[in-house]
Amino acid sequence: MTSLAKSNHRYAPQPRMKSSHLPSDSALGLISTHSFPAIVGTADMMLKSADVTLVGYEKIGSGHCTAIVRGKVANVRLAVEEGAKTAEKFGQLISKLVIARPMPNLEAVFPIGSHLVEIAQQQQGYSRLSNRSIGLLETRGFPAMVGAADAMLKSADVQLASYEIIGDGLCTAIIRGSVANVAVAIEAGMHEAEKIGELHAMMVIPRLLEDLEHTLPVASYWRDETEPLPILMPTPVKQRQRELIALPELEKKPLIMKKPAEIEEIVEIEEENP
């Protein structure tokens, strides 16, 4: 390699990373579990124990789910500790992590940026099941989940919001309704799931925070998406349809034909009486 080539290679411009718009004392918190209901309950505890923002979930297969939160370092540490205790109660805690002042490169590559929250909220739209309690029932095997969902819908006044598949044969049915109805439905679903297959986990959350509401899956059937307003543009003359106006019918009168003799008499009378 020539000296000129070495010089160009040495001083070649490097791509610039986007600067982080987060404050210098920001942190990132992650907790991983082996169950979707467990990770939702863990995320709920993290949000209620400290002032943090739930970015979302990362599902990597084999039943591994990770909840990701952001906030100030002290708040994230507290949230992760309380969330880990909740996951340990379920017996589903795999790992936990707190990263203080994450680098912009980390945010650019991994799905952990705070801007993902805004995108998720815009895509989610309004749901008719919002502001209701939630119940999650996880089974190993799809038939067990479908049977449990059917039993839950028949046992109480609840609605099936969606379902989640996280690998390793784990499926979660998500229902919404009042606290009492959700509790009754989950009880019935548990018995039905044990009859058909394997019951893995369950969770009932009476009151959802807004961050958790936006990150939970909701079937498109329950979303009321706003329709865009029509664009009012003048219609071209060629495309305008001319309205046909109905004309009144002409009054029909009989035509009377007079004989030549009668015409002469009328003329004579008019001459005598000018």
pLDDT in tens, 238-267: 555 566 666 677 666 666 665 666 666 665
pLDDT in tens, 144-201: 999 999 999 999 999 999 999 999 999 999 999 999 999 999 999 999 999 999 999 9
d(CA 54, CA 68) in angstroms, rounded, equals 6
Domain range summary for the chain, segments of one domain joined by +: 24-101, 104-114+128-223
Q: Top-level CATH class of 104-114+128-223?
A: alpha beta
- Give helix 179-196 / helix 142-155 axis angle, nearest 10°: 140
Asked whether this chain's domains 24-101 and 104-114+128-223 adopt the same fold, the reply is: yes
Give DSSP secondary structure letters for 220-243.
Answer: GGGEEPPPPPPP--PPPGGGPPPP
pTM above 0.95, yes or no: no
Domain over 24-101 is classified CATH 3.20.20.100: no
